Amino acid sequence: MSESIPVCDAADPFPRAPAFTIPPGACDTHAHVFGTERIYPYTPNRTYTPPDAPVGAYRHLHERLGIARGVLVQPSVYGTDNRLQMDALAYLRGQGLAYKGVAVVDADARETELDQLEAGGHCGVRMNLLFKGGIQWRDVEVLAQRLATRNWHLQFLIDVSEFEDLESRIRALPVPVVVDHMGHMDCRKGLEHPGFQALLNLLRDEQVWVKLSGAYRITAEQQPPYTDVDLFAQALVEANPNRCVWGSDWPHPHFSIPMPNDGDLLDLLARWVPDEAVRNRILVDNPAALYGF
């Protein structure tokens, strides 16, 4: 392992219960499982080395938070090797639990590979333009045409402040698009930044779904509740509450401030969305529509 690849801290092993009532059927739309490296090796071309985060710890997190459904997202450190995620979903779904997956594949992936992923619970493909090991934009148009026939979606890990022609590119795609981590833009750039405004425009026109997740990735603060994120999350919900979903981003790999507790992160949603009916829509109804629960 190269010493130049940073090793991430582990998640807090003692998640506390949230301070508000979680509705039945609540969904965590963004998390990852990792390890062990001996069985599921990381790609050499990666930005970080994660801690082990096994499926049992993931399920414990959801039991503690009161989460009934989940979506596992293929992380960049595995490239297009989706074996661990397939195995984790097989374990969870084998217990009768409602879990889905978002894979990473090459643009020229065989139909048989997509068939296997779909049978294993996958319903989308992630495009990563931030970390090494992700799919590249030049493959997107080709892949989108193929995914449209399967009713899959594309998920984007991008910084909306640094992505050229965001609006026109997304509007041209024939599949639903999901944007990670509120657009992954540093809050210090401000609400009026053209990239964030483009995201709001797409959201208003129902051209995208947005994950209310990863507040610690865009804040300038060190500890929850990350008050500088409030206006950004609230602007997204105001733009279209029917197209917002929530995600934990557990086990929180590759960021630079102290590790938060997952109970504190879930409580951020109540801070951003005090209206219980709207909050329950974000936790239950919206992800059910997007992922087909």
pLDDT digit string, tens, across residues 40-84: 999 998 989 999 999 999 999 999 999 999 999 999 999 999 999
For residue 4, being part of any structural domain is answered with no
CATH number, domain containing residue 205: 3.20.20.140
Q: Using pLDDT thresholds of 50, 70 and 90, give the confidence band for residue 139.
A: confident
For residue 22, being part of any structural domain is answered with no
Phi, psi of 193 (to 5 degrees): -55, 135
List beta partners, residue 156.
127, 179
C-beta atoms surrounding 247 within 10 Å: 22
pLDDT digit string, tens, across residues 188-212: 999 999 999 999 999 999 999 999 9
pLDDT digit string, tens, across residues 239-268: 999 999 999 999 999 999 999 999 999 999
Residue 98 in 3-state DSSP? strand
d(CA 215, CA 221): 10
Residue 165 in 3-state DSSP? coil
249 is catalytic: yes
pLDDT at 1 over 50: no
Q: Which of 112, 162, 173 has its CA nearest to residue 140?
A: 173
Cα radius of gyration (the chain): 18
pLDDT of residue 135: 55
**Structural domain that includes position 268:** 27-291
pLDDT of residue 45: 87
Question: Taking the model in full, what pTM does it have?
Answer: 0.95
For residue 132, being part of any structural domain is answered with yes
Give the total number of structural domains in the chain: 1
Q: Which of 181, 70, 199 has its CA nearest to residue 131?
A: 181
Q: Which two tokens stand for residue 119?
A: 């049978």
Q: Which of 279, 291, 292 has its CA nearest to residue 241?
A: 279
Given the residues 249, 262, 264, 267, the one annotated as active site = 249
pLDDT of residue 119: 98
For residue 3, being part of any structural domain is answered with no
